[in-house]
Each structure stands twice: as C-alpha cells, then as structure tokens.
Amino acid sequence: MRYRAVVTAETEYMGTGRAKVWTYLIVAGLLIVGVLVANFALSNPELASKGVDAFLGMPPWGFPAVAAAVGLVIYLLGLKLETDWPEALGALLVAGAIASGEFLLGWKRFELGGLVVVPYLIPLVVFLVMMGYSVLRSK
C-alpha cells in the first residue's frame, strides 16, 4: 500500500477566530505603547535623548538600531512559522525603529522637496511593504 502525504495550504491570514483577535490585540497594544513613547519623546526631546543615552550606556542611535535588528529577526522567524503575528510584530518594530531614528536625526532632514509628510510616510511604507510581503508568502 502506498500512502500519499496531504499538504494543506494556509487559507487564512492572521489566523482565524480567537487567533485573529489575539493578533490584532497584540499589535494594537504595541502600537499604543509606541505612540505613548513617541509622544513622550516629542514633548520632551532633551529628556528623551538623555534617557536613551543613560539606558545601558548606548549612544542615541543605538536604541533604534537594536530595535530594528530585533524586529527584523522576529519578522524573519515569523516568515518560517505558520502563525502570522510575529511578522506583524517584527514589521511594527522595524517601522517604529525607523521613525525613532528619523526623530533622532531630525525630521527636517527627511522632508524631501519641502514635503513635510515624507518623514511620516517612510515608516508607514516600510510597514506596509513588510506586511504585504508576508501576505504574499503566506498564500
């Protein structure tokens, strides 16, 4: 007798039922924490830069670099797993690290052609491209 292996393709993105709800809750919670941290940094830029400098003795650019590296590792590991929330978490960490890096370097440097919206669009585009790639990979 011969047995055939049955391969089932994933037909749902971000899970189904409870898994989807938990995915959105985790991503929404991280987004809220990120917005609160960004709000603190924007309202107190001097205190934020001193806090980053005092945090583990890292230079100001070190924290976004570490967050981007951790986010990229989580994203790449998520591509290998069936569940999709690590991809969303990794993409969110990378986009947040890019946004905080822009803040540390100065928003004005990223205003291409005098467009004030460009610094806001760069992290959003990175997040959407990473999530779009993960959607294509999961099909």
pLDDT by position in tens, the chain (length 139): 565 655 555 555 555 566 667 777 777 777 777 777 767 666 776 766 666 566 666 777 777 888 899 999 999 988 888 777 788 889 988 998 888 888 777 777 777 777 777 778 888 889 989 988 888 877 6
Rg (CA), the chain: 18
Residue 54 tokens, joined: 């005092």
Q: Return contacts of 16-22, CB within 8 angstroms, 24+ apart.
A: 19/83, 22/85
82: closest CA among 8, 25, 31, 27?
Answer: 8
Q: Where are the domains of the chain?
A: 18-138
- Which residues of the chain form beta strands (DSSP E)? none
